[in-house]
Amino acid sequence: MGDDDAESRRCRVRVWFGDHVVADYCAEAELAGRYAAAMTRRFAGLRVTSEPLSAADPGGGRPLPGERLWEVAPT
Residue range 9-68, pLDDT digits in tens: 889 999 999 999 999 999 999 999 999 999 999 889 999 999 998 767 665 677 777 766
The pLDDT of residue 61:
72
Candidates 66, 23, 68; CA nearest to 43 is: 23
Number of H helices, E strands in the chain: 2, 4
69: pLDDT confidence band, cut at 50, 70 and 90? Answer: low
Residue 1 pLDDT class (50, 70, 90 cuts): very low
Task: List, in order, residues 6 or more apart from 75 with CB less than 8 Å away.
Answer: none
**Are 32 and 67 a contacting pair, CB within 8 Å?**
no
Answer yes or no: pTM beyond 0.75: no
